[in-house]
């Protein structure tokens, strides 16, 4: 049996935590990093100038963590600037309302070290509620398929990932123009250029509650996703999000009809057709009949 590598011989992992007004959750996320049994972690919190309790929480950790706070260009900008300042062989980001499970980083490093051709590793994950109780597993996670990513669903849970710094830089890093789908876009670019490794064991827990960016993104999030997929040669919005797109467009159409914004209503009605089945089209005709 091979002997474990000495602690100082193991590769450095750089973890960046973007933060903005997440004082309710950030200590949980930080603690999940500090409690990892992996010996070489470089950890930095990139705060966007929080006005809640976040700064007090960060100060409470003393010299156990590195952090900076000030205006930034949003989440993608904060993460990317953290990565540019990082020196680790491997990179990860953990949003300030998510957390790692014990032993996650060591297991992910071992998997990537065992497969030098892989640039990205993703693993299993769970959803937790506002109080940190497990809701259930992230069921959409499955073995890697670029075609599935482009046509069906983003099955990579962002906090359950680790990737090589040199590969991240080689594909151009995060697209700073993306607000919702910068992770989805990055996985596609890494998976198009390199091998991807999948570890089915749980690595991280993502917090699900009403105020998350994914929950409140609405039509803007879906439109950004569609642009990203088309950019990479996909045919449009992946199948798993089309029902959501229909509901968002229908809500916007109802608001436009009620407000008698006739040109907007006409544009929305044209856009909604590819997402509406027979029953849905009947409801749309009733909604718009005689209104525009």
Q: Determine the topology of domain 7-215 in CATH.
A: Spore Coat Polysaccharide Biosynthesis Protein SpsA; Chain A (3.90.550)
The pLDDT score that the predictor gives to residue 283 is 53
C-alpha angle 20-24-25 in degrees, rounded to nearest 5: 80
Taking the C-alpha atoms of residue 276 and residue 243, their distance in angstroms, rounded to an integer, is: 8
Taking the C-alpha atoms of residue 60 and residue 54, their distance in angstroms, rounded to an integer, is: 10
Taking the C-alpha atoms of residue 161 and residue 15, their distance in angstroms, rounded to an integer, is: 11
* DSSP label at residue 212: S
pLDDT in tens, 32-80: 999 999 999 999 999 999 999 999 999 999 999 999 999 999 999 999 9
The pLDDT score that the predictor gives to residue 280 is 47
Taking the C-alpha atoms of residue 271 and residue 69, their distance in angstroms, rounded to an integer, is: 41
Contact 86, 138 (CB under 8 A): no
Q: Is the pLDDT of residue 284 over 70?
A: no
Report which of residues 274 and 44 the model is more confident about: 44
The β-bridge partners of 162 are 121
The pLDDT score that the predictor gives to residue 257 is 86
The pLDDT score that the predictor gives to residue 286 is 53
Q: What percent of the chain has pLDDT over 90?
A: 78
pTM score, whole prediction: 0.89
Domain boundaries, the chain: 7-215, 239-288
pLDDT in tens, 10-30: 999 999 999 999 999 999 999
Q: Read off the pLDDT band of 290 (50, 70, 90).
A: very low
Contact 190, 97 (CB under 8 A): no
- 3-class DSSP assignment, residue 21: coil
The pLDDT score that the predictor gives to residue 274 is 82
Taking the C-alpha atoms of residue 275 and residue 250, their distance in angstroms, rounded to an integer, is: 10
The pLDDT score that the predictor gives to residue 260 is 84
Q: What percent of the chain has pLDDT over 70?
A: 92
User: Please, what's the b/e burial string for 41-78 (b: 16 or more CB within 10 A of its CB; e: otherwise)?
Assistant: bbbbbbbbebeeebbebbeeeeeebebebeebeebbbb
Q: Read off the pLDDT band of 277 (50, 70, 90).
A: low
Q: Is the pLDDT of residue 200 over 90?
A: yes
Q: Read off the pLDDT band of 281 (50, 70, 90).
A: very low
The whole-chain average pLDDT of the chain stands at 91
Helices (H), the chain: 26-34, 54-59, 75-85, 104-113, 146-151, 165-170, 182-193, 213-216, 218-231, 242-258, 262-272, 278-288
For residues 238-261, average pLDDT: 90
For residues 120-144, average pLDDT: 97
Closest CA to 54 of 11, 24, 31: 24
pLDDT in tens, 93-131: 999 999 999 999 999 999 999 999 999 999 999 999 999
What are the structure tokens assigned to 11, written together? 């590769």
* DSSP label at residue 210: T
- DSSP output for 230-282: HHTT--SS-GGGHHHHHHHHHHHHHHHHHTT-HHHHHHHHHHHGGG--HHHHH
Q: Read off the pLDDT band of 285 (50, 70, 90).
A: low
């Amino acid at each position: 049996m091979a002997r474990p590598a000495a602690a100082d011989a193991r590769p450095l992992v750089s973890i960046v935590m973007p933060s903005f007004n997440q004082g309710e959750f950030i200590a949980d996320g930080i603690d999940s990093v500090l409690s990892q049994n992996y010996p070489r972690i470089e950890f930095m919190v990139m705060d966007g100038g929080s006005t809640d309790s976040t700064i007090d929480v960060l100060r409470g950790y003393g010299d156990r963590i590195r952090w900076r706070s000030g205006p930034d260009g949003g989440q993608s900008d904060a993460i990317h600037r953290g990565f540019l300042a990082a020196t680790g062989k491997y990179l990860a980001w953990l949003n300030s309302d998510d957390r790692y499970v014990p032993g996650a980083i060591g297991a992910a490093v071992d998997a990537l070290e065992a497969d030098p051709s892989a640039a990205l590793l993703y693993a299993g994950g769970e959803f937790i509620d506002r109080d940190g109780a497990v809701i259930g597993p992230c069921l959409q996670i499955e073995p890697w398929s670029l075609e599935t990513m482009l046509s069906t669903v983003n099955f990579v849970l962002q906090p359950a990932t680790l990737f090589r710094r040199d590969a991240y830089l080689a594909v151009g890093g995060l697209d700073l123009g993306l607000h919702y789908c910068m992770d989805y876009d990055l996985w596609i670019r890494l998976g198009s250029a390199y091998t991807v490794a999948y570890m089915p064991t749980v690595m991280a827990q993502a917090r699900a509650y009403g105020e998350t960016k994914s929950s409140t993104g609405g039509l803007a999030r879906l439109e950004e996703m569609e642009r990203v997929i088309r950019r990479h040669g996909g045919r449009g919005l992946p199948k798993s999000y089309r029902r959501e797109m229909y509901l968002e467009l229908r809500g916007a159409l109802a608001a436009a009809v009620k407000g008698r914004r006739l040109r907007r209503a006409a544009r929305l009605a044209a856009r909604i057709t590819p997402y509406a089945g027979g029953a849905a089209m009947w409801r749309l005709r009733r909604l718009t009949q005689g209104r525009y």
